[in-house]
Chains A and B, each alone.
Chain A
Amino acid sequence: AQSVAQPEDQVNVAEGNPLTVKCTYSVSGNPYLFWYVQYPNRGLQFLLKYITGDNLVKGSYGFEAEFNKSQTSFHLKKPSALVSDSALYFCAVRDSSGGSARQLTFGSGTQLTVLP
């Protein structure tokens, strides 16, 4: 079984400050990890993924995420937050041995608010 935890329902940060949105996971094999962003009443947009290789992954809109196998974490980060980054962020995981269906398990989401 695979699972994802996003321990913070809400994260507030001032514009220009660094932001971090936390994600921890549990899988039986090697993890494939993803971050998505959702704006109000819209679908999810893919931000970045970790499959293998460098633990620091860079994605869209200046976001990056760090894979930490010992802590089973995949936190989303951005050096300088923008008001337009305010949205709902989802972490997702699948087990690399999960079969061809490649089903994702999503966290419950973290609402990020960037204050001007």
Chain B
Amino acid sequence: DGGITQSPKYLFRKEGQNVTLSCEQNLNHDAMYWYRQDPGQGLRLIYYSQIVNDFQKGDIAEGYSVSREKKESFPLTVTSAQKNPTAFYLCASRRAMVNEQFFGPGTRLTVL
């Protein structure tokens, strides 16, 4: 997990509220990714960003939003439009011209 931090570790939200998950990296990586993990389903890509001020939707972007104002930071907002937001959220980053991604420790979001 070194070099990539996610906060908070656990997050509780009431239905109808937006919530923002933090992801910060000090690895000077260019690309950053957000995944959602549900039991038995592996990881699914929500959004990714290859450079500052640019990002693209992944496979399950509906109900989520992101920003990339700084190279080090890629926050994810889970909006009230996301129908089933309870999950484990993982942030990853990758250095340019390298294939493997490196992951943060994750944030577990529970909607009450």
List residues of chain A with CB under 8 Å of any chain B CB. Answer: 9, 32, 34, 36, 41-46, 49, 51, 90, 94, 100-104, 106-109
Contacts and interface: CB of A to CB of B under 8 A. Distances in A.
B1 A42 contact: yes
Interface of B: 1, 4, 6, 31, 35, 40-43, 45, 48, 50, 56, 58, 88, 90, 92, 94, 99-106, 108
A-B pairs with lowest CB-CB distance, top 8: A43-B103, A106-B42, A106-B43, A44-B103, A108-B42, A43-B105, A43-B1, A46-B100
Chain B, interface SS category: strand
A49 B102 CA distance: 13
Contacts of B40: 9, 108-109
B42 A34 contact: no
Give the dominant DSSP class at A's interface.
loop
Contacts of A36: 103
Contact of B101 (A9, A51, A104, A109): A104
Nearest to B48: A101
Contacts of A106: 35, 42-43
Contacts of A101: 31, 48, 50, 56
